[in-house]
Amino acid sequence: MGLGFLAAIAMEPIQGTAALGLAEGYRLEGLPEEATLWYVRSATLLGPDDEAPYLGLGQVAEDGGELEAATAYFKVALERNPRNPLGHYLMGKVYRSRGQVAAAIESMERAVALQPDWVEANLELIGLFSVAGRRADVARQYAELRRRYPTLDPDALEEMESTARLLLGEPRRRKA
């Protein structure tokens, strides 16, 4: 972003959601210091009960490999809103990175329970079940995805089925 844009922002009062958007933009651009400053500012503007700035701060920490800090931020976010599926999803990914598979599964199951149609969270849960050697849960979760998405793009469905078979240790189907 140009300095003129930032100078214009500095002279105008900014709302919490705008500060949050700027923080996310900086995070996605790989500018963690700027992102952190704007997430902190958005936390001040949005108030003490809003979890979104803490999710962002956790993502900045995770992006920087600071898994303990990420865990702490995600815990704060989930204290503020325990029904946020993204918070549970992000916490599950950090737990997985830390090698805490049981905790990762628990977090991912919460994310899926709160937002059952979230394909990415379901696939992450299938992967965690596989890591944990829980073949029956891999099969159950995959069957649930197929049931939930009968009109899914055939190529995407084939890829999901292939991944599930691989995770279950079954041979891949050959194309006719």
**Better pLDDT: 173 or 41:** 41
Q: What are phi and psi of 133, to 5 degrees?
A: 75, 25
- Cα 114–128–76 angle (5° rounding)? 50
Give a yes or no: residue 127 inside a domain. Answer: no
In which band, very low, low, confident or very high, does the pLDDT at 117 lie, cut at 50, 70 and 90? confident
The amino acid at residue 97 is S
Q: Is the pLDDT of residue 176 over 80?
A: no
Give a yes or no: residue 39 inside a domain. Answer: yes
In which band, very low, low, confident or very high, does the pLDDT at 162 lie, cut at 50, 70 and 90? confident
Looking up residue 39, the CATH number of its domain turns out to be: 1.25.40.10
Give a yes or no: residue 73 inside a domain. Answer: yes
Q: Per mean pLDDT, which range of 13-17, 32-36, 135-139 is the poorest?
A: 13-17
- Give the mean pLDDT of 16-37: 94
Give a yes or no: residue 61 inside a domain. Answer: yes
Give a yes or no: residue 45 inside a domain. Answer: yes
CB-based contact 23:38 (threshold 8 Å): yes
- Provide the number of structural domains found in the chain: 1
Give a yes or no: residue 121 inside a domain. Answer: no
Give a yes or no: residue 94 inside a domain. Answer: no
Q: Which residues contact 164 (CB under 8 A, 6 or more apart)?
A: 126, 138, 139, 142
In which band, very low, low, confident or very high, does the pLDDT at 150 lie, cut at 50, 70 and 90? confident
Q: Say what the pLDDT of residue 147 is.
A: 85
Q: Which two tokens stand for residue 19?
A: 């500060």
Q: Say what the pLDDT of residue 172 is.
A: 57
In which band, very low, low, confident or very high, does the pLDDT at 11 lie, cut at 50, 70 and 90? very low
CB-based contact 88:100 (threshold 8 Å): no
**Domain encompassing residue 24:** 14-82
